[in-house]
Amino acid sequence: MRARDIRTPEEALGLIQDRGLTHIKIGLSDIDGILRGKYLRRDKAAGVMKDGLGFCNVVLGWDSSDQLYDNIQYTGWHTAYPDAWARVLPHTCRELPLEQANGHNMLFFLAEFADEKSAQICPRRLLQRVIAKAEAMGYDPYAALEYEFFVFEETPHSVREKGYRNLKPWTPGYFGYSVLRSTVNADFYQQLMDLSEQMDMPIEGLHTETGPGVLEAALGFDRAADMADKAILFKTFTKALAQKNGLMATFMAKWSHEYPGQSGHIHVSLKDKATGKGVFYDGDAPYKMSAVQRQFMGGVQRYLPEFFAMFAPTVNSYSRLVPGYWAPLDATWGVENRTTALRLIPGSEKSQRVEVRIGSADANPYLAVAAALAAGLLGIEQKLDPLPIVEGNAYTQKFDEALRFPATLWDAAQRLKGSEAARQVFGVPFVEHFAATREWEEREFRRHVTDWELARYFEII
């Protein structure tokens, strides 16, 4: 049996046994969308596959640098960081070609938190709740994600030794869609495409973007839940593959003020559960845009500013949001318009969709997909219409203040925390926990002095 055919604990255990593996590997998403995991010995895995396991809840109580939040209720020193119950998901079984064991690829499984309190905060479980809402409304949600990421001829040691300055990009200069670059560096491209095929996170398109050493990968369209799984795996194992090749890949939103930021665009559509047909398409309507798609668009436009922290979750995310660098500043929409936050892509019944262009590469894919989907579903429920379409360059036009995105992570956290819609669709425990973690992130940033401040003020002020 192939890894991707696994559906039950018994099948998973049978495959582990057949391959003579002594251990397997599991991982689950923390708040920031970083996979945290461990190896499990085969006899331990036998019980875990059926009954779950205890997983220290600190992974929901610390930041991306393992610093403990001091402003959350769910866990902390006041709870003594106990285990939370987690379950391993047999159907997520993957070959892990980057690791060999007993002549076979290591087997990797995704997991999620399962007890009542942790499930309210767990990013993967949050997306599952939003998908359940869509299904209750009669829809199957689908998504596809595109990621831009920069690659450097550096190592985790060298970037620290250099203080993250004077880094050497993998390739020099601006050369988008370069056939030359992809040919010269075909070995890495092929390794990445092969890895993505073997791990069932296939790349639909891969090309150089504008900037030194920057690539863009479009992941193949899939059900929203599977797409988010594939996205977090893609980010993690692209970085692992790069490091195994003496390179480093970064998905931070903007690594240098000299170059465009890195996006994580989200394509979303809905199918009718009963018929399997796309509900965004109406061949007789303007732009082939059905009433359901109009309402979905209206909802995403209306709630993007309130849910913004879930699309732009780091201090660095807001460095990307500047005019003229392909990152929209307002909750605008247009048809095939890449200067607006929402891009309507007319097509067939199968391809008609909405692209949420505001997402950055540093977003947790579970949270970003959940936010886009939830906002659109609210629009359908409330029968919202989008504001008038934007034509031409959105950067040069003025819009209603209500469409303006928060300018800082702190402001975004306050918008989310004060959003009744967010509390309704995501639950109060998640909203309060996530908003607090974003406040922490901003506070941590404020404790540090930047190079810009030193250069500007050290001598002259």
Domain termination residue (choose one: 57, 84, 115): 115
Band (359; pLDDT cuts 50, 70, 90): confident
Q: Which domain holds residue 312?
A: 130-456
- Same domain assignment for residues 36 and 152: no
- 106 vs 100: CA distance, rounded Å: 6
Mean of pLDDT values over 112-131 = 98
- Same domain assignment for residues 154 and 296: yes
Residue 179 CA: distances (Å) to CA of 63, 193, 207: 39, 16, 8
The mean pLDDT value of the chain amounts to 96
DSSP string, 338-358: TTSSEEEE---TTT-EEEETT
Domain termination residue (choose one: 92, 115, 138): 115
Give pLDDT, residue 226.
Answer: 98
- Same domain assignment for residues 55 and 189: no
- 424 vs 421: CA distance, rounded Å: 5
Q: What percent of the chain is modeled with pLDDT above 90?
A: 92
Band (325; pLDDT cuts 50, 70, 90): low
Mean of pLDDT values over 151-163 = 97
Task: Identify whether 299 is part of a domain.
Answer: yes
Task: Identify whether 121 is part of a domain.
Answer: no
Q: What percent of the chain is modeled with pLDDT above 70?
A: 99
- Same domain assignment for residues 161 and 262: yes
- Same domain assignment for residues 336 and 426: yes
Domain CATH for 87: 3.10.20.70
CB atoms within 10 A of CB 291: 14
- Same domain assignment for residues 448 and 389: yes
Backbone angles phi, psi at 206, to 5 degrees: -145, 125
- Same domain assignment for residues 51 and 166: no
- Same domain assignment for residues 111 and 155: no
Domain count, the chain: 2
Band (383; pLDDT cuts 50, 70, 90): very high
- Same domain assignment for residues 105 and 153: no
Q: At what angle do helices 224-244 and 186-198 cross, to 10 degrees?
A: 140
- Same domain assignment for residues 277 and 143: yes
Tell me: pLDDT of 326 over 90: no
Band (322; pLDDT cuts 50, 70, 90): confident
Give pLDDT, residue 28.
Answer: 98
pLDDT tens, residue by residue, 192-235? 999 999 999 999 999 999 999 999 999 999 999 999 999 999 99
- Same domain assignment for residues 138 and 61: no
Task: Identify whether 180 is part of a domain.
Answer: yes
Eight-class DSSP state of 280: S
* R_g (Cα) of the chain, nearest Å: 22
Task: Identify whether 378 is part of a domain.
Answer: yes
Domain CATH for 247: 3.30.590.10
- Same domain assignment for residues 105 and 160: no
Task: Identify whether 123 is part of a domain.
Answer: no
- Which two structure tokens, joined as six digits, stand for 25? 């590997």
